[in-house]
Amino acid sequence: MQYLLGDKLARQKVLIAAVMAALPQITFAEDTLSEVIVSSDTIQSNQPSEKTKSYTVKSTTSATRLDTSIRETPQSISVITREQLDDFRVLTINDALSYATGIKVEPFETDRTDYSARGFDITNFQIDGISTPITYGTNYGNLDVAIYDRIEVLRGANGLLTATGNPSATINFVRKRPTKDFQARIDLSAGSWDNQRLDADISGSINADGSVRGRLVMAHQNKDSYLDRYSNERNVAYGVIEADITDNTNVVLGHTYHQNDSSGNNWGSLPLLYADGSKRDYKRSDSTAPDWTYWNVGTNITFAELTHYFNNDWKVKGQLTHKETEANARLHYIYGNEDRTTGLGLFSYPGMYHTLTKDNVVDVYANGPFELAGRKHELVVGATLSKADVKDYGRNGLIGTPLSSFESAGDFPLPVFGAESKNADFTTKTTNIYAAVKLNPTDALKVTAGGSLLSYEMEGISYDIPQEAKENNKFTPYIGAVYDLNDTYSVYASYTGIYKPQVEVGSDFKPLAPLEGKNFEVGVKSEWFNKTLNSSFALFKTEQENLAQQIGMVGITTIYDGIKATSKGYEFDLSGEVTDRLNINAGYTRLMSVKGDQDQNVNPYIPRHLVHLSTVYKVPFIENLKVGASVNWQNDIYVDIGSVRYVQDSYAVLNLMANYKIDDHWSTAINLYNVTNEKYLASMKWASSGTSYYAAPFNGAVTLTWKY
């Protein structure tokens, strides 16, 4: 949960007191301001990935807000850069995250997706390091990546900046920013199932001296699908202006518009079993959705930033984000199990829904160096205030109408819907005060320590269940250390607390107690070939209490039980340049166990082995040609549907690409996906409820690109 607390005077005083308490410890070079001098190392580390053309980055702030190299960050980090997104023509967040080590993408319906890492759901999401609420951890619609420079994935708990230390991962989407020099790019694509897309990206200075810069990114995509009756239209617009008010002060204003409209989309999906418990088989194109179904999701995000640099390398930054998401849906769910002989046993559940969420987030922090015991160290102190309002309205058709067979689901007539009722109306307010210090006791040893102080309040109602919870000043600790063995290798260890308020309800129809626990990680990191290639190996262990596990349904309400759970495993990550011709991004995650307090397997739908590998090679004898491949493999997984164990066999998905640069302005590319035409279920997360659907078969796209 990362939501917003309104501007209450008492909490403002707490923030001011925390900042002022930290500032006296800092040794300032002078008491006055002067022109900021930026070193070449800083310029290099802060370069966007679209400029470096690399599969890795020099530094990241996702863990602590301190600008730290991947090697000096005492947690596992993966980065999907703009170069890799462009090489493999990755257009959505779902596709992008499949290139990150240890991330399992769970598109359990055509327009709803969950994510997991290290055995548990990912609920922490950020944009430019600012936590952005995603209700229930589920993404609605196919979110586009056209506006992002890169995506950073910090694995393990991150209670310092996200207010709640979820033990899976934090996903940070880093926006494209204006450039001083003029640049422009247009991509035109055509692909399988009448897939048509146009991207435009223009950036540069607005005034003569370059002190005001702007950028505009737009994308339009329209496509049909391998699924019967399903189609999708997506429109994206992102505008941002960056201005240097003085030599020391910078302001940024921006807005993102994202509209995702789908028709013929599924809600729930294909019943996996017959009434006798035997396994059903379907064509990949089979769908339960009639052509009158739709799910339209519109998101508008407005943000502002103000940054002031002091002459002693300190800075203060304030960020404000307002986000509104509105969804309108007309859906058709089928439930039950078909009798093999009669075709009966399936029933209809039509519904119409209107959801509106409004989120406001304010973050203010100061960071910079200070001297202690004759050595230079770094400090960050700040606070995030957030407020989220969720309203959900629904109308039902006649529930329980029997179907004559599965085949009749797609032809189910448009029903008459009843009066609208309010399903949910609740507000969550949060204050998170955080601080971290990076100490340098020796040239080889770096120690990062800190913590967050979380206060939150939730009130309202959701599906007739009161949403009432409150906590004041809950402390979550963070500590990590990195020791350089030599110029190439470092060893590290970290410990992070876990604390997460929950909305899931127990058998008493009250929200479960907050999730609490500990996250441990140790490993080895290295930098190769003049720091152009990063590698890491990590061992991790997580201990949790009150982990929500579904135990049944009461009416339309899902009931959970809070259990103790422990996960442990290891992972390997590699990204960057092997040579000036070969880029690589690879990873392997081994979940050795995810066990409950009764020694039961927890979340068995999550693979215990995950492998991904992507490489792109610049062909030496055809100088303007580069070719590449990516492959994702996972082991077999299962869910229990009642007394029946349903197994998804292991599978691998292979993608291929080729790009040819015609001249300085024009290039063309071809991308092929699921080249071996592997048939597998898109997600098993909710298959325990008896439904799923098949992922896309072999498909492809060609792209023509113009750049200036």
Cα angle, residue 8 at apex, residues 163 and 25 outer, rounded to 5°: 60
Q: For the chain, what is the domain count?
A: 1
For 26, the domain range is 9-707
Q: Is position 3 within any domain?
A: no
8 A C-beta contact, residue 195 and residue 230: no
Q: Is position 660 within any domain?
A: yes
Q: Is position 530 within any domain?
A: yes
Percent of the chain having pLDDT more than 70? 92
Q: Residue 343 has what pLDDT?
A: 93
φ/ψ of 517, rounded to 5, equals 170, -160
Percent of the chain having pLDDT more than 90? 76
Looking up residue 564, the CATH number of its domain turns out to be: 2.40.170.20
Of 22-36, 65-79, 389-403, 598-612, give the lowest mean pLDDT range: 22-36
- Relative to beta strand 699-707, strand 666-673 is antiparallel
Does pLDDT of 17 surpass 90?
A: no
Please give the Cα distance from 113 to 550 (Å, whole number).
18
Q: In the predicted model, what is the mean pLDDT of residues 370-397? A: 94
Q: Is position 2 within any domain?
A: no
E strands, 90-211, in order:
103-109, 112-117, 120-121, 124-127, 130-131, 139-140, 148-155, 169-175, 183-191, 195-205
Q: Is position 302 within any domain?
A: yes
**Looking at the DSSP assignment, which residues form a beta bridge with residue 489?**
526
Q: How confident is the model at residue 19 (pLDDT cuts 50, 70, 90)?
A: very low
Please give the Cα distance from 380 to 368 (Å, whole number).
7
Q: Residue 60 has what pLDDT?
A: 86
Please give the Cα distance from 560 to 564 (Å, whole number).
13
Q: In the predicted model, what is the mean pLDDT of residues 77-83? A: 94
Does pLDDT of 434 surpass 50?
A: yes
Helices and strands in the chain: count of H runs, count of E runs: 6, 36
Mean pLDDT of the chain, nearest integer: 89
Q: Residue 557 has what pLDDT?
A: 74
Q: Is position 126 within any domain?
A: yes
Side chain identity, residue 48? P
Q: Residue 64 has what pLDDT?
A: 77
Q: In the predicted model, what is the mean pLDDT of residues 196-220? A: 97
Q: In the predicted model, what is the mean pLDDT of residues 678-684? A: 96
E strands, 264-293, in order:
270-271
Q: Residue 135 has what pLDDT?
A: 61
Does pLDDT of 552 surpass 80?
A: no
E strands, 619-689, in order:
625-634, 637-641, 644-648, 651-661, 666-673
Q: How confident is the model at residue 499 (pLDDT cuts 50, 70, 90)?
A: confident
Q: Is position 4 within any domain?
A: no
> Rounded to a whole number, what is the distance in angstroms from the first to the last CA of the chain?
42
**Looking at the DSSP assignment, which residues form a beta bridge with residue 153?**
78, 171
Q: Is position 298 within any domain?
A: yes
Does pLDDT of 599 surpass 80?
A: yes
Q: In the predicted model, what is the mean pLDDT of residues 320-327? A: 96
The helix (run of H) or strand (run of E) holding residue 593 is strand 582-596
Q: What is the pTM of this model?
A: 0.91
Q: Which long-range contacts (CB under 8 A, 24 or more apart) does 615-622 make?
A: 615/582, 615/583, 615/584, 615/585, 615/586, 616/84, 616/87, 616/582, 616/583, 616/657, 617/581, 617/582, 617/583, 618/580, 618/581, 618/582, 620/581, 622/660
How distant, in Å, are the alpha carbons of 160, 162, 173, 338 from that of 129?
12, 9, 8, 48
